[in-house]
Each structure stands twice: as C-alpha cells, then as structure tokens.
C-alpha cells in the first residue's frame, strides 16, 4: 500500500469503508404514535442517552460496558428528510423547551460499536450495528383501513360516523353541507376544495374532542406532511346514490380517493413501512384515561387498527410487498413522569389490557409484543408531602412558562408539587369510569418544563433523566448486540 499515491490510497480506503458499511448489519426501528404521543421527545432522548453515556442499567450492552462507541452517521435513504436531532437537542437540553413535534416521516442513523457477549462473537471481532430510526405519524397507519375499501364503501362508513350525537360544531357544518348538495352536483374544483376543508375540520374536531379523541382516516387529512393543499387531499365522502355519473362531483371525488390510495397510501406502506424490522408505538394513554371511558374505548380501537397493520397476511397485496417482517413491537405509554412511581406498573397493566383486547380483535400473530410505561424525558421528581397528619405521594416539577394552574400563571422557574392521584388497581375499571389520574384540573393542564441534565454516577457525563427508556431499548435492540 505504501507505494500508492495519496489519491489512490484514499480511494482504496473509501472502498474498504464502503464494503465494511455494506457488511454491517442494520436494524430499522419504526417510531410511531398519534400526534403528541411523544415521538420527537422519545427519539431525541434515546439518541442523547446513547451518545452521552446515559444511565441505562437495563440496556445490557451499555450496562456491561460492552458498548464501545456510538455515533451519528449519514442515513441510507437520501429521499427521506433527516430527523433534526441537533435542533431538537438545542430546544430540549439547551433551552429546556419541548421540541417541535413530528409532522412527517424522518430518519436518523446511529452506528453502534460493541464487544460481543458470547465467546464466538468475541473471536469474530468487534461488532457494529447500524440503528436506523424511522419516525412517522401514527395517523398514516390508519390509512391501512382504506386499502380494501373503494370510494363507495369508505364514503358510507365515513358518513355513518356523522350520525353520532351530539356532533361537534365543525362536524355539523360538514353534515349540513352534504345535505344541501344536490345528488347530481357536477364536477367542480372550488366545491371539492370547500367540502374537503369542511371534512378535514370535522376529522380534526373528532380528534380533539375531549370525550372521544377519535382518530379516523384518511391519515393525511389529520397530518398532511408535505401534501398540504395538494389535489391528493382534496376530496371528501358524499351521500351516494348508486354509481357516480360521468362528470359528476361524486365521480371526481371517487377518482381522487383512488389517487390518494395509489399515490400516497400504497407508496408509504411499500417504501417505508414494509422495510421496518422493529417498531415502537407510543401511546398517550394518560390523556385517554383522564378523559374517561369513551376515549379509552377509542384508544383500544385505534390500537387494534395499528395491530392490524403489523399483520399483513390478511391483506394479500401488503403481504406480498413485505420482504421482512416486524418481529418485535413495543407499545409504550408515554409521559409516565406525570405519575408517582407506584403507579407505573398500573399504567403498564392498563396498557397491556388495552393491547390484549386490540390484539384479540385483530387476531394478531407473529411478532413478539410487549408493553411498557415510560417517560423518555423525566420532567418531575418524586416526593412525599405532609398534609395535616397525612403523608401524600407527590410529584415535583416546573410548569412551563405561561402555564396556568388553579388560576395562577407560572414563569417557568417555579417548582410546584402536585398530587397525581392513583390509577385503579383493576385495569378493567378504566372502561367503566374515568380513571382518577388526578384531581380534576391537576394533571390535564400541567405541562412541566424539561429537566436540567443530571450528572452520571462517575461524575463525568451530563445526561437526560428518563423512566424505563433502557428497558424499552433492551427489548427493541438488545438481542442484536448480544
């Protein structure tokens, strides 16, 4: 090699690097969940903890000292936006503000170097693993339900949900517009756009409805990503009267619905979803529990839809597209730092119950499924507060600047103690009555500031505190670092 010129040597080394890269195994980990479930916070905290030697006692490769290096690398897919890790860390760690949430698909590659735990593995040399994190809105998974439904069938379903009473104002407006529309209305772009806007407002009202928190497809109407305003999302269900006539508004809507399925839904499942190896589904279960049984039932239904997406056998075309299968799925209830630690196991039990119901409905088989209650970022501390003669378990945190709790506005620098209340011991109870997550008005409105970094036990590093993030990591990739 010493005879080679600098350029030639560089080329050789680059080639050798590429070859090693190709030979390095990779795991594609999907991170999903409905809007505000905690995807951005999860990925940012995960990467920060891995890069900075976070406290991860249950993540065996790190705890046993076998994880020798972690670095960010260029991602393999040039066509997918990069997850903006640096901006999110800047917000979360440097400014102690929550980062901007997921709006579309994004990707980030980590390369982990490790010593194998096995004799054979050790003699094989040091191991390397690419961990490709793929962040995407859970709303997009709801579109799976559209794949085996033509426009007429979908229209019928969507319109029938409008009969639920009482209707939100936005939903009522959409229903009125449909009623006023003559069955023979002619194709018209402005009218299509108006109805699509009203329909979108209806879907978003259902999603925000504190009682229901209902999530319905089409997913891009809730989370358009880069399709905002595109004709691909300019359609709506109608009252249909037989086969749509040529040149009618109904025919135009049907055509656009088909385009949506062809140009949006299928490519997403084919190009991104079908290539995942592992999946974490983040669930804001506390929000649903706080709202009561209707929201809990809706959450269970949505989890069922998500499970169905991971069982491609039933949808033959999806099955035929999928070359590798997700073999591990973790359902994680996020923001567990809003509870006293006594309740973390209860939250897990409730989620297990919801997932079990959902998986029975989706007759799920194949992947190993687990549940966990986590806080990717722990924004609170535990305390016991005396009130009268009583000792009450409390959480202490700093409300966000401008946060109003019990009529008081906070400046972002004042700590307060809250009594989060207890979750029911019997997970079935949450289907019947509101879980007393907190005295009304307590948790629902408390948004705590992200915490300061904490020193590692050796005093050398500064890391983000979390709850059970290491357990999640061990389940998701631990076996690949054995």
Tokens standing for residue 395: 């959480």
Contact pattern from residue 67 through residue 86 relative to ligand GDP, giving x for each residue in contact according to CB under 6 A and a dash for the rest: --------------------
Contact pattern from residue 291 through residue 330 relative to ligand GDP, giving x for each residue in contact according to CB under 6 A and a dash for the rest: ----------------------------------------
Q: Out of 376, 418, 476, 477, which residue is the one contacting ligand GDP (CB under 6 A)?
A: 376
Q: Which is nearer to ligand GDP, 8 or 383 (CB)?
A: 383
Among positions 405-444, residues that touch ligand GDP (CB under 6 A) are none
User: Helices marked H in 227-327 — which ranges?
Assistant: 249-260, 266-271, 285-291, 293-309, 316-321
Q: What are phi and psi of 268, to 5 degrees?
A: -60, -50
Residue 133 CB, shortest distance to ligand GDP, in Å, is: 13
Q: Out of 27, 29, 40, 304, which residue is the one contacting ligand GDP (CB under 6 A)?
A: 40
Q: Which is nearer to ligand GDP, 39 or 109 (CB)?
A: 39
124 Cβ neighbours under 8 A, 6+ residues apart: 116
The residue range among 35-43, 300-308, 435-443, 456-464 that interacts with ligand GDP, by the rule CB under 6 A, is 35-43
Q: Which is nearer to ligand GDP, 38 or 399 (CB)?
A: 38
Decide: residue 22, CB within 10 A, 0-12 exposed, 13-18 middle, 19+ buried: exposed
Contact pattern from residue 228 through residue 267 relative to ligand GDP, giving x for each residue in contact according to CB under 6 A and a dash for the rest: ----------------------------------------
CA 206-35-395 angle, 5° bins: 105
Q: Out of 33, 244, 399, 420, which residue is the one contacting ligand GDP (CB under 6 A)?
A: 33
CA distance 471 to 57: 8
Q: Which is nearer to ligand GDP, 51 or 104 (CB)?
A: 104
Among positions 125-154, residues that touch ligand GDP (CB under 6 A) are none
Cα–Cα distances in angstroms (integers) from residue 336 to residues 269, 287, 391, in the given order: 31, 11, 22
Contact pattern from residue 441 through residue 460 relative to ligand GDP, giving x for each residue in contact according to CB under 6 A and a dash for the rest: ------xx------------
Q: Which is nearer to ligand GDP, 334 or 359 (CB)?
A: 334
CA 105-107-109 angle, 5° bins: 170
Q: Out of 39, 48, 55, 353, which residue is the one contacting ligand GDP (CB under 6 A)?
A: 39
Find out whether 256 and 233 touch, Cβ atoms under 8 Å. Answer: no
Q: Which is nearer to ligand GDP, 27 or 446 (CB)?
A: 446
Q: Which is nearer to ligand GDP, 77 or 84 (CB)?
A: 84
Number of residues this chain uses to bind ligand GDP (CB under 6 A): 20
36: contact with ligand GDP by CB under 6 A = yes
Cα–Cα distances in angstroms (integers) from residue 140 to residues 231, 248, 443, 469, 477, in the given order: 18, 29, 29, 25, 24
Stretch (H or E) spanning 121: helix 119-123
The residue range among 53-61, 106-114, 356-364, 372-380 that interacts with ligand GDP, by the rule CB under 6 A, is 372-380
Q: Out of 41, 167, 232, 463, which residue is the one contacting ligand GDP (CB under 6 A)?
A: 41
Cα–Cα distances in angstroms (integers) from residue 158 to residues 164, 215, 244, in the given order: 11, 12, 17
173: contact with ligand GDP by CB under 6 A = no
Residue 189: count other Cβ atoms within 10 Å of its Cβ.
10
Decide: residue 26, CB within 10 A, 0-12 exposed, 13-18 middle, 19+ buried: middle
SS3 3: coil
Find out whether 249 and 187 touch, Cβ atoms under 8 Å. Answer: yes
Tokens standing for residue 377: 């970022």
Residue 238 CB, shortest distance to ligand GDP, in Å, is: 31
C-alpha R_g of the chain? 25
Among positions 329-348, residues that touch ligand GDP (CB under 6 A) are 334-335, 337
Residue 374 CB, shortest distance to ligand GDP, in Å, is: 7
User: What residues line the site for ligand GDP (CB under 6 A)?
Assistant: 33, 35-41, 98, 101-102, 334-335, 337, 375-377, 379, 447-448
């Amino acid at each position: 090699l010493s005879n080679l010129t600098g350029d030639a040597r560089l080329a050789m080394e680059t080639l050798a690097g590429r070859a090693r890269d190709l030979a390095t195994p990779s795991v594609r980990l999907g991170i999903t969940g409905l809007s505000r479930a905690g995807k951005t916070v999860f990925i940012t905290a995960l990467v920060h903890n891995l890069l900075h030697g976070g406290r991860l006692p249950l993540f065996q490769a790190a705890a046993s000292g076998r994880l020798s290096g972690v670095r960010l690398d260029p991602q393999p897919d040039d066509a997918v936006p990069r997850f903006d890790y640096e901006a999110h860390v800047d917000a979360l760690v440097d400014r102690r503000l929550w980062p901007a949430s997921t709006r579309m698909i994004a990707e980030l590659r980590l390369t982990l170097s490790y010593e194998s735990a096995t004799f054979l593995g050790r003699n094989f040399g040091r191991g390397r693993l690419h961990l490709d994190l793929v962040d995407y809105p859970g709303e997009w998974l709801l579109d799976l339900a559209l794949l085996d439904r033509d426009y007429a069938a979908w229209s019928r379903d969507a319109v029938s949900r409008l009969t639920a009473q009482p209707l939100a104002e936005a939903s009522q407006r959409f229903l009125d517009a449909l009623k006023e529309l003559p069955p023979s209305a002619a194709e018209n772009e402005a009218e299509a756009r108006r109805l699509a806007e009203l329909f979108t407002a209806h879907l978003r009202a259902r999603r925000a409805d504190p009682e229901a928190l209902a999530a319905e497809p089409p997913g891009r109407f809730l989370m358009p990503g880069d399709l905002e305003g595109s004709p691909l999302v300019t359609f709506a269900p109608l009252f249909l009267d037989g086969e749509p006539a040529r040149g009618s508004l109904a025919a135009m809507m049907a055509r656009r619905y088909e385009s949506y399925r062809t140009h949006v839904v299928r490519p997403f499942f084919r190009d991104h979803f079908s290539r995942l190896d592992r999946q974490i589904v983040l669930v804001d279960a506390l929000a649903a529990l706080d709202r009561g049984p209707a929201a809990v039932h809706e959450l269970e239904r949505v989890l069922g839809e998500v499970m169905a997406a991971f069982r491609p056998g039933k949808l033959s075309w999806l099955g035929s597209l999928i070359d590798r299968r997700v073999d591990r799925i973790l359902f994680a209830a996020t923001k567990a730092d809003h509870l006293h630690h006594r309740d973390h196991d209860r939250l897990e039990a409730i989620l297990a119950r919801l997932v079990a119901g959902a998986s029975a409905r989706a007759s799920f088989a194949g992947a190993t499924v687990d549940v966990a209650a986590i806080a990717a970022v722990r924004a609170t501390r535990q305390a016991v507060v005396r009130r009268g003669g009583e000792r009450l378990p409390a959480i202490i945190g700093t409300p966000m600047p401008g946060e109003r709790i019990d009529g008081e506005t906070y400046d972002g620098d004042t700590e307060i103690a809250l009594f989060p209340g207890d979750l029911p011991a019997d997970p079935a109870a949450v289907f019947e009555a509101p879980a007393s997550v907190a005295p009304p008005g307590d948790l629902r409105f408390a948004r705590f500031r992200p915490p300061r970094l904490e020193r590692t036990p050796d005093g050398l590093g500064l890391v983000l505190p979390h709850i059970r993030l290491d357990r999640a990591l061990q389940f998701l990739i631990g076996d690949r670092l054995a």
